[in-house]
């Protein structure tokens, strides 16, 4: 397990899964909103050096999504469908345009810790350890951690 700033990142030894966990000073409802409202989501997702443009967003069970992140004029597209969107859990698929045959199944849980705190847990499942480990080697944890730090600032300043 690696802990980068506030986010713990774990590669399961038995199944090709990456797990993340981070506690927020926010209610489950606030974290749910931050993950389903496209305007809010675009403001925090990804590393600091990227800006994100939502191209399609229907955060409901059976809906789908697509966004493009831009760094120094280079565009990186991502898309998937929402299998289930409910207050305590979001399940969605995820593909990066640069690897169009690669698909991961991502699950996110919002666990109420009481006292206005919530643990965000997430899991990404792929079909091989090679694919999982190449994700880990891509430096994804930096973008994840910077994204969550932005989300934290939005919670603190009352935007979410």
Q: Count CB atoms within 10 A of the CB of residue 146.
A: 20
Tokens 């859990």 identify what position?
89
Is 75 or 84 the residue whose CB approaches its own copies more closely?
A: 84
Q: Is the dihedral of CA 153, 159, 57, 109 positive or negative?
A: positive
Residue 53: name the closest of 36, 67, 35 by CA. Answer: 67
Q: Segment near its own copies (CB under 8 A), from 2-10, 27-35, 80-88, 144-152?
A: 80-88
Q: Under rule CB under 8 A, which residues in 96-115 are in contact with its own copies?
A: 101, 103, 105, 107
Q: Count Cβ neighbours within 10 Å for each residue of 16-53 and write b for 16 or more, e otherwise.
A: bbbbbbbebebbbebbbebbbebebbbbbbbbeebebe
Interatomic CA distance for residues 109 and 117, integer angstroms? 13
Query: Does residue number 84 form part of the binding site for its own copies (CB under 8 A)?
Result: yes
Q: How far is the CB of 81 from its own copies (least distance, A)?
A: 4
Is 125 or 154 the residue whose CB approaches its own copies more closely?
A: 125
Are 4 and 21 in contact, with CB atoms under 8 Å apart? no
Query: Does residue number 122 form part of the binding site for its own copies (CB under 8 A)?
Result: no
One residue of 59, 129, 142, 149 binding its own copies per CB under 8 A: 129
Query: Does residue number 83 form part of the binding site for its own copies (CB under 8 A)?
Result: yes
Query: Does residue number 28 form part of the binding site for its own copies (CB under 8 A)?
Result: no
Residues at the interface with its own copies (CB under 8 A): 14-17, 56, 61-64, 79-84, 89, 91, 93, 95, 101, 103, 105, 107, 123, 125-129
């Amino acid at each position: 397990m690696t802990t980068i700033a506030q986010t713990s990142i774990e590669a399961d030894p038995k199944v090709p899964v990456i797990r993340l966990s981070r506690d927020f000073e926010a209610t489950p409802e606030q974290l749910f909103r931050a993950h389903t409202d496209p305007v809010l989501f675009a403001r925090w997702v990804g590393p600091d050096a990227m800006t994100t443009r939502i191209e399609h967003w229907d955060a409901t069970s059976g809906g789908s999504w697509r966004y493009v992140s831009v760094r120094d004029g280079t565009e990186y597209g991502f898309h998937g469908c929402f299998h289930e969107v409910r207050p305590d859990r979001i399940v969605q698929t995820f593909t990066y345009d640069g690897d169009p045959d690669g698909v991961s199944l991502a699950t996110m849980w919002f666990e109420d810790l009481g006292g206005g705190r919530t643990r965000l847990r997430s899991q990404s499942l792929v079909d091989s350890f090679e694919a999982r480990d190449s994700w880990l080697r891509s430096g994804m944890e930096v973008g994840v951690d910077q994204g969550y730090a932005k989300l934290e600032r939005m919670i603190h300043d009352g935007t979410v």
